[in-house]
């Protein structure tokens, strides 16, 4: 089966994903397959934005769109690598929200570029940048290299990973849904709620 089709099919049903990924071997296979699609997603995001440049927006406004889309793409990369690291640890207790192989690029051609909407996109990009900075791969790699079982971690290591998993779930929730409403004119209310939850988490850091 084509790898991209396989991942997309698997991502179509939440129950199916959870059941499939209960197996440690299946989790590793899933991320091996998804690894091959990361560059595809990055190219799609960039290409999709370039197509939107045709719309009648100023360079400053297009810059806001691009900054947000670029940060979503960066978050996808960072938290994908974090999720790959987690596949090397058995018996992880917290539930992990997995990144989905779905388009994360929005069409801004009909977007209502009010000051409020543009400021929200700027804030969303900033929140993602702050979340990305909290993923410390030096510490993650040290933990994963020395332990392959969550139950063997000390309390500090467990707490560190659980905090990152919580952050992962919030970021995945924010970047996995369409950022714009169905008509493309306003920001999706679900997206606003997702980023509000992420902001609450980051304000506590």
Question: Residue 9: pLDDT above 90?
Answer: no
The encoded tokens of residue 87 equal 């596949």
Q: Which of these ranges, 25-34, 99-108, 189-198, has the smallest mean pLDDT?
A: 25-34
Q: What is the pTM of this model?
A: 0.78
Confidence of residue 189 (pLDDT cuts 50, 70, 90): very high
Tell me the percentage of the chain whose pLDDT exceeds 70. 71
Confidence of residue 94 (pLDDT cuts 50, 70, 90): confident
* Res 176: pLDDT: 86
Which phi-psi region, left, alpha or beta, contains residue 91 (left: φ > 0; alpha: ψ -120 to 50)?
left
The answer to whether 186 and 165 have CB atoms below 8 angstroms apart is no
* Res 41: pLDDT: 53
- CB neighbourhood size of 172 (10 A): 21
Question: Residue 21: pLDDT above 60?
Answer: no
* Res 105: pLDDT: 74
* Res 35: pLDDT: 57
The answer to whether 30 and 20 have CB atoms below 8 angstroms apart is yes
Q: What is the pLDDT of residues 36-73, one digit of tens each?
A: 555 555 555 555 555 555 567 888 999 999 999 999 98
Rg (CA), the chain: 18
* Res 44: pLDDT: 53
Residue with the bigger pLDDT between 40 and 29: it is: 29
Question: Residue 14: pLDDT above 50?
Answer: no
Q: So where are the chain's domains?
A: 3-203
What backbone phi and psi angles, to 5 degrees, belong to 22? Answer: -65, -25
Confidence of residue 33 (pLDDT cuts 50, 70, 90): low
Confidence of residue 99 (pLDDT cuts 50, 70, 90): confident
Question: Residue 92: pLDDT above 50?
Answer: yes
* Res 139: pLDDT: 96
- CB neighbourhood size of 53 (10 A): 12
- CB neighbourhood size of 164 (10 A): 20
Write down the mean pLDDT value for the chain.
81
């Amino acid at each position: 089966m084509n790898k991209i089709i396989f991942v997309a099919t698997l991502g179509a049903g939440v129950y199916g994903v959870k059941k499939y990924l209960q197996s440690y071997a299946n989790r590793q296979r899933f991320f091996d397959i998804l690894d091959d699609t990361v560059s595809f997603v990055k190219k799609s995001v960039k290409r999709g934005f370039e197509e939107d440049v045709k719309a009648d927006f100023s360079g400053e406004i297009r810059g806001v769109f691009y900054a947000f889309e670029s940060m979503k793409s960066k978050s996808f990369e960072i938290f994908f690598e974090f999720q790959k690291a987690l596949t090397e640890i058995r018996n992880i207790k917290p539930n992990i929200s997995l990144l989905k192989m779905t388009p994360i690029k929005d069409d801004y051609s009909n977007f209502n570029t009010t000051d409020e909407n543009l400021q929200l996109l700027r804030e969303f990009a900033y929140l993602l940048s702050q979340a990305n900075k909290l993923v410390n791969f030096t510490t993650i790699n040290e933990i994963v290299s020395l332990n392959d079982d969550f139950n063997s971690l000390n309390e500090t290591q467990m707490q560190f990973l659980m905090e990152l998993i919580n952050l992962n779930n919030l970021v995945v929730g924010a970047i996995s849904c369409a950022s714009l409403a169905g008509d493309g004119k306003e920001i999706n209310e679900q997206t606003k709620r997702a980023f509000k939850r992420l902001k609450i988490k980051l304000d506590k850091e």
